[in-house]
A and B are shown apart, each in its own frame.
Chain A
Amino acid sequence: MLVLYANGDGQAAAELMRRLGPRCFGVALRVLGNAAEAEDVTQEAMMRLWRMAPDWQSGQAKVSTWLYRVVMNLCIDLKRRQRGGHVDLDAIPEPPDPARSAPEQLQEAARQDALQQALMQLPERQRQAVVLRHIEELANPDIAGIMDISVEAVESLTARGKRTLAKILAERRDELGYADD
């Protein structure tokens, strides 16, 4: 698809955007915790994909892996630039789910908010590893490639991150309705 785009196929860009755009945006949103920043990072990452397209060689890493890496690096750069800045959790949109009743949707939204808030309390590298492992469901070797660390380091980061999340969320168990489940 990337080769088609590089050769001038007008439809290829739309297809690549449909496949890869939401994944970039989702990861950036989870890691940054801010929708506007996630949009900027996603647009920049996709721009780098368009520019890189003619030089892409099949047999290299997967395009999605390459793109995750770009997104993560852009997130790190952004956070470095704004050290001391605030995190706008209210900027995270909650997608509506028509299959659920209004109370269920509210509770689900509250749970996702709680997850995001807990994620934002993790150290940056732990948060990246947890998002890639448990939300994007990438394999540890892929995450190691994206984050430029060893597989063992990925395992350590995800295990510690998940334990911390469980501890943070356990304090809000009743509030989030898990005691009734």
Chain B
Amino acid sequence: MTDKEGAQEDMSDVDALFASAREVPPQMPKNLEQAILRDAAQVQARRLEAQTQARSGQGATPERGLHRIWRQFSTAIGGWPALGGLAAASLVGLWVGVAPPAFLPDPVESFVAYSSGAQLISEQGYDVSLLMSEEVFE
């Protein structure tokens, strides 16, 4: 056999090996198939979720009127916790006004005790005629 014939034979052996490799390709392990499909499902789910969020963001109608003002106000003072604090403080203030503690003068009684505004003013040391004069009001 010449060198050329020998080389051709070697090449045909390699070609036969290539053909055999093509004929029986390596099998993918089952766990790899499952891992690939799991990745695909996760990527797909994340993408669909992002698309849904983007669509719902675009479809939202803008708030109008009092609702918007109320939301801006509540946001400005600190949201629902701040609103709760404001409501509690208002109730305490009302309660102190209606039923004050013993060491404080009763504001309701002090007003009811005077029969008229003129009496209240005169008892507080003001001169009614002076208050009513044009010079004072001008």
Contacts and interface: CB of A to CB of B under 8 A. Distances in A.
Contact of B13 (A23, A54, A166): A166
B98 interface: no
A95 to B, nearest CB: 5
Interface stretch (A41-49, A59-67, A81-89): A41-49
B11 A46 contact: no
Q: Interface residues of A toward B: which range?
A: 35 or more
Contacts of A165: 14
A84 to B, nearest CB: 26
Q: Interface residues of B toward A: which range?
A: 20 to 34
Interface in A151-181: 162, 165-167, 169-170, 173, 176, 178
Say what secondary structure dominates the interface of chain B.
helix
A17 B25 contact: no
A22 B26 contact: yes
B28 to A, nearest CB: 5
B18 A50 contact: no
A22 B22 contact: no
A102 to B, nearest CB: 16
